[in-house]
Chain A
Amino acid sequence: GNSVTQMEGPVTLSEEAFLTINCTYTATGYPSLFWYVQYPGEGLQLLLKATKADDKGSNKGFEATYRKETTSFHLEKGSVQVSDSAVYFCALTFLNTGNQFYFGTGTSLTVIP
C-alpha cells in the first residue's frame, strides 16, 4: 500500500538551530513527494515538492531531496526562525491523476527565541 511515516514530535529548537524532520514512504508506484506546512489557525500550505528521484525541492530556506534508494524525503533547514513554528506534513501522491494525497501524522515544530 501507500503510506508516509514521519518522525514523532513535538520538536523544540532554539532560533538559528539546524532542523531535520525525517520522512520515509512506501508506495505502489512512482510517487511525487511533498512537504506541507500548517501555521497556527491556518490551512495546509505547500512548502516544497519533488517529482522524481534525486530532485531537490526548496522554498523559504527549507530543502528536501527525493531519495528513491532509501525511500526518504527528509526536510531540512539550516537556521530556523521563530516564524517557522508550525506543523509540518510529509505527503505523497501520483502524477497525472486525481488521486488522493497520503499524509504523515505531522510534526509540530516550536522555535524559541
Chain B
Amino acid sequence: EPEVTQTPSHQVTQMGQEVILRCVPISNHLYFYWYRQILGQKVEFLVSFYNNEISEKSEIFDDQFSVERPDGSNFTLKIRSTKLEDSAMYFCASSEQGLRVPEAFFGQGTRLTVV
C-alpha cells in the first residue's frame, strides 16, 4: 500500500541552526502539506503546496520556514535559525486533487528537538 515516508524520524538540533525535514509523498498525489504538533497540543496546519507553489499557509509559517519540491519525489520543510519553541512533531501529508474527498495521507512524523 502506498504511504508517505518522512526522514529522519528524530532530529536534535542546536538553537539557531537550520534543519531540513524530508518527505516523500504518495507518487500520484498533487497536494502536499506540512503540519506540526507541539507536545500536548493540537495538530496545526503550516502550509499546503500545489503545482510547485504554496497554495495556503498559516500564521505560524513565517519567513523562518520554507518548503520546496526539489525533484519529482521529495517535499522538504526548511526551518532557519531554529528556536526552542520549534520543538514539535512535524507531519507531512499528501492528497489527490479532484471531486473525491481530499483524504490526506500522513507520514509517521519527524520529532524535532531544539536544544
Q: Report A's interface with B, CB cutoff 8 A.
A: 32, 34, 36, 41-46, 49, 51, 89, 91, 93, 95-106
B97 touches A98 (CB 8 A): yes
Instruction: Find the A residue at minimum CB distance from B99.
Output: A96
Render B66-110 as a binary contact track against A, CB cut-off 8 A, 1 for contact. 000000000000000000000000010101011101111111110
Instruction: Find the A residue at minimum CB distance from B31.
Output: A98
Q: Report B's interface with A, CB cutoff 8 A.
A: 4, 6, 30-31, 33, 35, 41-45, 48, 50, 55-56, 58, 91, 93, 95, 97-99, 101-109
Contacts A43-B108, A49-B103 hold; do A100 and B97 have CB atoms under 8 A apart? no
Instruction: Find the A residue at minimum CB distance from B41.
Output: A105
Give chain B nearest CB distance to A82 CB in angstroms: 22
B109 touches A43 (CB 8 A): yes
- B105 cross-chain contacts in A, Cβ below 8 A: 46
A72 to B35, CA, bound (A): 24
A95 touches B48 (CB 8 A): no
Nearest 4 CB-CB pairings of A with B: A43-B108, A100-B45, A44-B106, A103-B43
- A103 cross-chain contacts in B, Cβ below 8 A: 35, 42-44
| Other-chain contact of B42, A32, A95, A105 (Cβ < 8 Å) | A105
